[in-house]
Structure 1
Amino acid sequence: MKTQFLTAGFLVAASVAHAETPVLNVLTYDSFVSEWGPGPAIEKAFEAECGCDLVFTGSGDGAALLARVQMEGAGSQADIVLGLDTNLTAAAAATELFAPHKVEGDFEIPMGWSDPIFVPYDFGWFAFVYDKTKLTNPPKNFTELAASDLKIVIQDPRSSTPGLGLVMWVQDAYGENASEIWMGLKDNILTVTPGWSEAYGLFTNGEADMVLSYTTSPTYHVVAESDDTKAAALFDEGHYMQVEVMGKLAATDQDALADQFLAFMVSDAAQAILPTTNWMYPVRTPAAGLGAGFDATPKPSISLLMKPELAMNRQDWAVEEWRSVLAQ
C-alpha cells in the first residue's frame, strides 16, 4: 500500500513538472518543419538551451502564414511567426499584431537591414533552376525565356512567397512593361502550383524544363546528393532577393521565451544549421563557414529588392496583372 502511494506521488509530481514546462508555439511554413528541413535540428538545439517545449506548426507556404495570422487575429495560439519575407512585412506590421523585437547587432544582407519588428534569419535569390544534361544553353533573361519553347513551373503569388517573389521580380525589373513579359511567358508556363514543394517535385520528376526556385537549390543537390547536374540560370536583369524574417506576436503569453528564440535564431548555433537544411544564406556567417558547396555557388551580380512599403503598395495590382494576363 505504501509503495502504491509513493508511486502515485511520483506520477503526480511528474505530471505537475510536465505541466509547468513552458511551451513556445512557432507558426512556420511546411518545408521548414519537414524531416529534411531545419525544424527538427532547431527544435533540439533550442530546447536544450531553454528548458522548454518548442512546438512548430506548419501552415502551407510563407504567404499563407500572414493570411492565417490575419484570420486568427489576437486569438492566435502562435507566439512567433517564422517565414514571412519583405514582400509581406509591411502588411504584417499594419495588422498591429506583432511586437517590437529586442535583437541587436548587424546582419550580413547585401542590401542592408533595419526593421524594429521583424528579425531576418536567412536570405537568398530567386532563380530558374534547370538540368544541365537536358538544357545546355539556358536563357539569360526573361525576354529569352519568353521567346523559347521551354516549359516552366511557377508558384501562385497568392499563396507562395516564391510565387510572389517572381511577380515582384518581373515588376521591379520591367515596371510598366511587366505585362508584356507575362504575355510572353504565358505559353511557357506548364502549371502554377500552390507552393514551392509541389513545383520543385514536378521539375525533379522531369515534367518541366525549369522551375522557379533559388540560386542555392543546385547547392542542395551537390551537397546532399552528390549531383552536379542542376544549375540556376543567371539573368541579366538581376535577381530578386528574398529575406526571410520572424516576428513575435504581441498577444504572446511567453514574451521572454519568444525573445530568447528570436535571439537564438541569429546565434551561431542556429545559423550553422540553416545553410544545409533550409538551403539559404545565413544572415550571420557561422564560425565554421558555409562549406565548399556554398562557396562554389554563383551569386547574381545585381540584387533587386523593393522596400517593404513599396512592395506592399505594388503587389496587389502586380498580382492582378499577372492573374489577368494568364487568364486571357
Structure 2
Amino acid sequence: MPCINRFSQALALGIGLGLFASGATWAEDRTLTIYTYDSFVADWGPGPKVKEAFEKQCGDCTVNFLALQGGVDILQRLRLEGESTEADIVLGLDMNLMAEARALDLLVPHEADLTPLNLPIDWDDETFLPYDWGHFAFVYDSEALPNPPSSFAELLEAPEDLKVIISDPRTSVPGLGLLLWIKHLYGDEAGEAWQQLNRHVLTVASGWSQAYFSLFMNGEAPMVLSYSTSPAYHMAMEDTDRYQAAEFEEGHYLQVETAAITKAAEDPQLAREFMDFILTEDFQRHIPLGNVMYPAIDLGDELPEVFDRLIEPEGFTFSPEEVQENRRAWIREWLNASSR
C-alpha cells in the first residue's frame, strides 16, 4: 500500500508540475497582435516605447505590431481577412474610415472609460477609441517659401511655379483628408478646385511617409500635405523653425485616429487591457513627439512646449457615415478632375 501511495503521490506531483508548466507556457505565449501603420512602429515612432510600457504593465504578454502603409491599408487588410484576421486590435483607422470598418461587422465594443478623453469634439463611440488627433495642413519650407499662402483660395490662385506634394486619397489617410477638406470647402465646385490645385501638384505619393520624408525633406517641393503638428518634431528634435504649417483662413479638416478590438482577438481580456492602457499617461506621453499629434488626454505639463508654438486652426469634419456614403463618388470626382 505505501508503494501505491508513493506512486499516486508521484503521479499527482507529475500531473501538477505538468499543469504548472503548461500554465507557464500559456502565460509566456500571451501575444497581442496589433495592425498599425509603418510610422507608428518606426524607431522614432511611439510604437517601441508603447510596447515596452505595456509589456512591463501586463508582466507576461508580448505586443506584436504588424506594420502596414497606413489606415487605408489596415481597412483593406481587415476586409480581405475577415473573421480569419490575425489582428487582435487595429490601431490607425481614423474617423473617416470608421463607418466602413464598422460595416464589416468584425469589431467589438472596447468597454474603455471615456472620461479621460480631451478632444476638440464630443466622443461617445463604443467601438472606436481615440488615441490622438490633429488637423491636416500644408507644411512648408520657410527657406524655400518665405511667404506661404494664407488661404486655400490663395493656394489655388498662386503662380503655377508653386509646387506641392500630396498623397493619393485611395491609398493614404492624409490624401483622403485633403479630398474631404476640399469637398467641405467647395462642395459642388470641388472638381474645379481640384483642377486648379492640380496645376501645383508636383507628384501624388502613395502615402504620407513617401510624400514627407522621401520627397519633401529632400527638397523636391516647398510644400507638402501633412499635419498642423508636423513642425513640432522639427522644433523639438532638430531645434529648427524652418518647417511650418500654413494656416488657412477657411479652416482645416480635423482628424481623430482610433483603435478597435476585433472579434477574432484570441485573448479579449488582454485586448481590453491594452484599450484601457491607451488612455493613460504611459501610452499618451509617447504621442506628441512620437506620432507628432495631439494626445487624446490632457497631459498637462508633460505636453512638450513646442506645441504652444503651433498654429491652432478652426476645424471641421464630415460624419463617418457621410464619408462612407460618398467616398467613392468623391474619389471619382478627383480622378476626373486630374485627367483633364
Return the TM-score normalized by structure 2: 0.90
State the secondary structure of the residue aligned to 2:29: coil
1:143-154 residue pairs with structure 2 within 5 A?
143-148=153-158, 149-154=161-166
Residue type at the aligned position of 1:142:
F
Residue type at the aligned position of 2:91:
L
Between 280-289 and 258-267, report the one with greater CA deviation: 280-289
State the secondary structure of the residue aligned to 2:131: strand
1:57-72 residue pairs with structure 2 within 5 A?
57-72=66-81
Cα distance in 2 between the residues matched to 1:136 and 1:194: 28
Partner of 1:46: 54
Larger radius of gyration: 2
Q: CA deviation at 1:190?
A: 0.6
Residue type at the aligned position of 1:90:
A
Matched, 1:30 2:42: no
Aligned-residue Cα RMSD (Å) equals 1.7
Q: CA deviation at 1:154?
A: 0.6
Partner of 1:204: 217
Cα distance in 2 between the residues matched to 1:13 and 1:263: 30
Cα distance in 2 between the residues matched to 1:278 and 1:157: 21
Work out which of the residue numbers 283, 299, 304 in structure 2 matches 1:291: 304
Matched, 1:88 2:100: no
Cα distance in 1 between the residues matched to 2:260 and 2:114: 16
Residue type at the aligned position of 2:339:
A
Matched, 1:276 2:302: no
Contact 1:268/1:287, CA 8 A, preserved across alignment: no
Contact 2:136/2:228, CA 8 A, preserved across alignment: yes
Residue type at the aligned position of 1:56:
F
Query: Cα deviation per residue 1:125-176 (whole Å; 9 max; x = unaligned)?
Result: 0000001122121112222112223111111111110000000011111111
State the secondary structure of the residue aligned to 1:247: strand
1:142-291 residue pairs with structure 2 within 5 A?
142-148=152-158, 149-201=161-213, 202-291=215-304
Residue type at the aligned position of 1:52:
C
Q: CA deviation at 1:252?
A: 1.1
State the secondary structure of the residue aligned to 2:92: strand
Query: Cα deviation per residue 1:246-295 (whole Å; 9 max; x = unaligned)?
Result: 00001211100000001101111111111110000011022533121112
Cα distance in 2 between the residues matched to 1:292 and 1:116: 33
Cα distance in 2 between the residues matched to 1:15 and 1:258: 20
Matched, 1:73 2:82: yes
Aligned structure 1 segments of 4 or more residues deviating by more than 6 angstroms: none
Cα distance in 2 between the residues matched to 1:158 and 1:235: 24
Cα distance in 1 between the residues matched to 2:22 and 2:194: 61
Partner of 2:108: 99
Unpaired runs of 5+ residues, structure 2, are 1-16
Query: Cα deviation per residue 1:183-228 (whole Å; 9 max; x = unaligned)?
Result: 1011111111111000002111000110000011111100010011
Contact 1:99/1:247, CA 8 A, preserved across alignment: yes
Cα distance in 1 between the residues matched to 2:328 and 2:49: 36
Unpaired runs of 5+ residues, structure 1, are 1-8
Q: CA deviation at 1:15?
A: 11
State the secondary structure of the residue aligned to 2:303: coil
State the secondary structure of the residue aligned to 1:44: helix
Matched, 1:118 2:116: no
Partner of 1:5: none
Contact 1:183/1:326, CA 8 A, preserved across alignment: yes
Cα distance in 2 between the residues matched to 1:53 and 1:166: 36
Residue type at the aligned position of 1:171:
K
Residue type at the aligned position of 1:110:
P
Q: How many residues align?
A: 317
Cα distance in 2 between the residues matched to 1:236 and 1:94: 35
Between 261-270 and 286-295, report the one with greater CA deviation: 286-295
Query: Cα deviation per residue 1:13-64 (whole Å; 9 max; x = unaligned)?
Result: 6996377430000000011011111000000000001120000000111111
